[in-house]
Structure 1
Amino acid sequence: MNDDRAPARAPEDLAQLFNARANAGDIEGLVALYEPDATLAVGEVKARGHDEIRRFFADLLAKKSSFPEVRTMEPVASGDVALTVALLPKGRISAEIARRQSNGCWLWAVDQLKIDPA
């Protein structure tokens, strides 16, 4: 999926890129959606930085090969920072903090997935 490694030009692009890359099994493409020192939290698992995020996605993609389209809320932006939210199946929610990079593209700095519905 190397031809789909286009960067996110807006915060709302990140979820769509995530879904496409996850379904393609593109671990490096997923990692590329995060800042180098980003934090990913899924339940009790916390991955910090590209190496740990890469390991997390390698494990995830080894167990799961299909990622359904998700509904997203309109991002809430303030300058170079935005809150993105994805509404996932079974009542799960993913909330992320995205940041505009010096090249104008957006990457996630923090990603929190709530596994169990409230």
Structure 2
Amino acid sequence: MSDMHREGAEAPEALARLFNQRANAGDVEGLVALYESEAVLAAGRVVATGHAEIRAFYADLLARRSEFPAAEILPPIRNGSIAMTFARLPDGTLSVETAREQADGTWRWVIDQLKIKPTES
């Protein structure tokens, strides 16, 4: 599916919903489209910068994993055209991202920190 026909995130909190839909559809290009061109994605020991590296990360991830459970989308923290987005995965881990509003009014991630493990009390 081309970017012209792909739904954009109309609000920061829509990014997590679109991520889940596209990951479960195996849509690598759709996942990449959720990020600005020079975005940084950190997932464990992997740090991917820019669309090419993010594309490679998701191509590898989707080749190994076929199902992504729905996450609880938490309210974003917004400051004008910047927002922190949060999603809690079923195992309790938290995904935290920074998103920026684009010139067309849609939102894309700029920084993505995947799976922060909760602390045990």
TM-score for both structures, normalised by structure 2 = 0.92
What is the Cα deviation at residue 116 of structure 1?
3.7
Unaligned runs of 5+ in 1: none
Displaced runs of 4 or more, over 2 A: 1-4, 114-118
What is the Cα deviation at residue 115 of structure 1?
5.2
SS at match of 2:75: coil
TM-score for both structures, normalised by structure 1 = 0.94
Counterpart Cα distance in 2 of 1:83 and 1:29 = 21
Counterpart Cα distance in 1 of 2:72 and 2:50 = 27
Cα distance 1:91–1:4, how it changes in 2: closer, same or farther (>3 A)? farther
Q: Which amino acid aligns with 1:33?
A: L
Unaligned runs of 5+ in 2: none
What is the match of residue 25 of structure 1?
Answer: 26
Number of equivalences: 118
What is the match of residue 114 of structure 1?
Answer: 115
Q: Which amino acid aligns with 1:22?
A: A
SS at match of 2:7: coil
